[in-house]
Amino acid sequence: MKLLITGAAGFIGSSYVRHVLATSEDTVTVVDLLTYAGGLDTMADFIDHDRVTFIKGDIADRLLMSEVMGGHDAVVNFAAESHVDRSIADPDAFVRTNCLGTNVLCDVAQRAGTERVLHVSTDEVYGSRLTGSFEEADLLEPSSPYSASKAGSDLIALGYHTTFGLDVSVTRASNNYGSYQYPEKVIPLFATNLLRGHPVPLYGDGSNVRDWLHVSDHCAAVDTVLRKGRAGEIYNIGGTAELSNVELAHRLVELCGADESLITPVQDRLGHDQRYSISLDKIAELGWEPQVGIDEGLESTVDWYRSNEWWWEPRRP
């Protein structure tokens, strides 16, 4: 296949390009605006690959996307604004990229006759759940401008299936971690701070629970849905590794060889969801399950940040 992968200069998108190059003969066109969260250095190991073409651009730019789309068999959309704290401070950027960008991408794809669109989303669209796990058909109750804009983008993408027959699937993943993650997110923020002997900010009492998914497992799941998923369907992707934030902080302190006194409680985030949890029964039917355990995954991630200060030091908030 010839794939158009958006947002591939970022954390998850770049990991997916590596997955595709390693596991298939597909050719890849990368479209990325190179905002603060994306960089040429994140793509340095594949940008000159003979099966990769890079185009700097915005998925909300209809003219550009119309010029680029033709000849591609499928689109995988990773392009998004994704940081909750930033969405509270500047929600307009999230609505523009996540909603308008998705609309332009799907509209251009259906006009160009592109066979397949996979829209990558988040489990945060469901909101918080104290017990049990969300299934794909559950009510959406997003609680931040970020998650609300992603919920909107999901519905926009699925609307193109209902109205135009576009072959769209949506994936909703739990919290990702791994190498090349921008150090505003909790695991790289904590790891890079602790490796430098700096304090780490723990929101509230640290009881908020997240399910952690290694980025390599996420990429394998996205690829599975791209090639086997059904049109008009949603697939949850999780790591089956629920940890409270305070448990995560203590694990990272140990892995970084730091002192627990560096864990510093700070005022809780506005609208902070208490717990995310999703059912994986549907994607299991496609033959996927997570392979990287949380202990192995956290250790390898900390080791990567320990060895790659050149990449993260210029990006530290």
Query: pTM of the predicted model, to two decimals?
Result: 0.96
Confidence (pLDDT) at 193: 97
Structure letter (DSSP) for residue 14: H
**Residue 276: pLDDT band with limits 50, 70, 90:** very high
Residue 35 has pLDDT above 80, yes or no: yes
Instruction: Evaluate whether 150 touches 122 at the Cβ level (below 8 Å).
Output: yes
pLDDT at 226 over 90: yes
Say if CB 54 and CB 30 are below 8 A apart.
Answer: yes
State the catalytic residues. 123-124, 146
Residues of the chain with CATH 3.40.50.720: 2-174+215-237
* pLDDT at residue 91 in the model: 82
Average pLDDT score over residue span 188-195: 98
Rounded Cα–Cα distance for residues 39 and 14 (Å): 10
Helices (H), 114-244: 145-164, 186-195, 215-228
Third-level CATH fold of 2-174+215-237 = Rossmann fold (3.40.50)
Bridge partner list, 28: 3, 52
Task: Tell me the per-residue pLDDT of 75-86, one tens digit each, with 9 for 90 and over.
Answer: 999 998 867 778
* CATH number for region 177-210+241-276+291-315: 3.90.25.10
Pairwise pLDDT comparison (78 vs 88), residue with the higher score: 78
**Residue 97 pLDDT exceeds 90:** no
Q: How confident is the model at residue 87 (pLDDT cuts 50, 70, 90)?
A: confident
CA gap 53, 58 in Å, rounded: 16
pLDDT beyond 90 at 311: yes
Q: What is the band of 278 on the pLDDT scale with cuts at 50, 70, 90?
A: very high
* Location of each CATH 3.90.25.10 domain in the chain: 177-210+241-276+291-315
pLDDT at 38: 87
Q: What is the mean pLDDT of residues 282-307?
A: 98
Percent pLDDT > 90 in the chain is 89
DSSP β-bridge partners for residue 168 = 117
Task: Confirm if 21 and 28 have CB atoms less than 8 A apart.
Answer: yes
Mean pLDDT of 253-264: 97
Query: What is the per-residue pLDDT across 196-213, written as a single tens digit (0 to 9) for each?
Result: 999 999 999 999 999 999
Residue 317 has pLDDT above 90, yes or no: no
In angstroms, the CA 243 to CA 169 distance is 29
Cα–Cα distance measured from residue 169 to residue 108, given in angstroms and rounded to the nearest whole number: 16
* Phi-psi label, residue 165: left if phi above 0, alpha if psi -120 to 50, beta otherwise: left
